[in-house]
């Protein structure tokens, strides 16, 4: 069984990821220093680290070494940090607050923020493809998986649908597709990469883990939509109420608050059912699904 209480495991893993990110990112005095300082500003010292936590929890299913999990978790978090920096730019969501601090383009400037996103993205692949994992064939699979999840058929594609959907009512399947790409693809990649860092799963296990990962990604977004209209800016560390103000379709606008809450409950149940095949090995993933469902920020 998992010896540490969930809150302690989460705090320890978050600290481990923070330290690894600080090591894997170029130092703030490496030239060009302003760009590297901004990359560290955008990545370090904030965020829930949900994707790294998922990678570590999935790694427990396959006995993955923590040193390998650090690498895959940090690669995914770098992609996530890049997406937040670009998402906050004036040409996208145009926001000034992220993780309780000024957004990257406000703290530095727009061209720097653009380059921070570009550089974090390529840094993620450099890390994943580098010497630390020591398994070239496995690394190639990981690079392909993360690239697909981040690109036009994943996160960036979901963002494109999001931008095109402002002011338009979407059906639930259309909303689902947008979020499966924009938010879900990277969450799915975090889970699968964590598992890939250990011994291979059977085809059945991999299928069930994929089912869990997809449900968890959608659950994360449904809860995000709920929090956007129920939590304060101070609690979220980012501007609350933006979806409604921007006339964006959300699970709350589609299903109402109660409907969105009950849909979140259904997704949690289905996510947990997918973990049955793993028994006690899935203890952390179970706890994380609960955390994602009940989080307050």
Binding site for ligand GRG (CB under 6 A): 47-48, 50, 80, 83-84, 86-87, 92, 99, 155-156, 159, 182-183, 224
Q: Which two tokens stand for residue 116?
A: 């921070």
The helix, strand and coil proportions of the chain, stated in percent and rounded to the nearest 5, come to: 75, 0, 25
Element (H, E) at 265: helix 251-274
For 19, 130, 210, 258, the CA distances from 185, given in Å and listed in that order, are: 25, 23, 11, 26
Q: Return the number of other C-beta atoms located less than 10 Å from residue 130's C-beta.
A: 13
What's the closest the beta carbon of residue 115 comes to ligand GRG, in angstroms? 12
Torsion of Cα atoms, 147 then 122 then 243 then 191, to 10°: 50
Judge residue 137's burial from the number of C-beta atoms within 10 Å of its C-beta, 0-12 exposed, 13-18 middle, 19 or more buried: exposed
Looking at the chain, how many residues does it have?
297
Comparison of 130 and 153: residue with beta carbon closer to ligand GRG: 153
112 and 104 in contact (C-beta within 8 Å)? yes
Q: Closer to ligand GRG by CB, 21 or 133: give it.
A: 21
Residue with tokens 């993205």: 121
For residue 238, what are its two tokens? Answer: 């980012």
User: Minimal distance in Å, beta carbon 291 to ligand GRG?
Assistant: 12
Contact 26, 35 (CB under 8 A): no
Nearer Cβ to ligand GRG (155/193) = 155
We find the least distance from the C-beta atom of residue 216 to ligand GRG, in angstroms, to be 12
**Which CB atom, from 47 or from 59, has the smaller least distance to ligand GRG?**
47
Q: Which residue is nearest to ligand GRG (CB)?
A: 47
d(CA 208, CA 198): 17
Among residues 48 and 261, whose Cβ is nearest to ligand GRG?
48
Q: Is the dihedral of CA 9, 10, 11, 15 positive or negative?
A: positive
Q: CB 47 → ligand GRG: shortest distance, Å?
A: 3
Minimum distance of ligand GRG from residue 52's CB (angstroms): 9
CB of 104: closest distance to ligand GRG in angstroms?
Answer: 12
The token pair that represents 213 in the structure block:
């990962």
Nearest approach, Cβ of residue 251 and ligand GRG (Å): 12
CA 211 to mean position of chain CA atoms: 17
Phi and psi angles of residue 97, each rounded to the nearest 5 degrees, phi first = -125, 130
Q: Closest separation between CB of residue 207 and ligand GRG, Å? A: 25
């Amino acid at each position: 069984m998992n010896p540490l209480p969930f809150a302690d495991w989460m705090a320890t893993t978050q600290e481990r990821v923070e330290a690894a990110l600080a090591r894997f990112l170029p130092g703030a005095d490496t030239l060009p220093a302003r760009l590297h300082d901004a990359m560290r500003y955008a990545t370090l010292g904030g965020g829930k680290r949900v994707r790294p936590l998922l990678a570590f929890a999935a790694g427990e299913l396959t006995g993955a070494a923590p040193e390998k999990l650090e690498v895959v978790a940090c690669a995914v978090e770098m992609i996530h940090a890049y997406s937040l920096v670009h998402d906050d730019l004036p040409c996208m969501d145009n926001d000034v607050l992220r993780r309780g601090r000024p957004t990257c383009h406000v703290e530095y400037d727009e061209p720097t923020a653009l380059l921070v996103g570009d550089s974090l993205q390529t840094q993620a692949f450099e890390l994943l493809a580098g010497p630390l994992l020591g398994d070239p064939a496995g690394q190639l699979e990981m690079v392909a998986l993360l690239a697909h999840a981040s690109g036009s058929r994943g996160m960036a594609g979901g963002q494109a649908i999001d931008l095109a959907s402002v002011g338009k009512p979407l059906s639930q399947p259309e909303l689902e597709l947008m979020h499966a790409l924009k938010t879900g693809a990277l969450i799915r990649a975090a889970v699968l990469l964590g598992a890939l860092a250990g011994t291979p799963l059977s085809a059945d296990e991999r299928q069930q883990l994929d089912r869990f990962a997809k449900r968890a990604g959608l659950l994360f977004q449904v809860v995000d939509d709920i929090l956007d209209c129920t939590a304060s800016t101070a609690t979220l560390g980012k501007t609350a109420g933006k979806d409604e103000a921007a006339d964006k379709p959300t699970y709350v606008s589609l299903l109402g608050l109660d409907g969105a809450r009950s849909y979140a409950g259904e997704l949690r149940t289905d996510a947990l059912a997918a973990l049955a095949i793993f028994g006690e090995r899935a203890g952390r993933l179970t706890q994380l699904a609960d955390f994602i469902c009940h989080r307050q920020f």
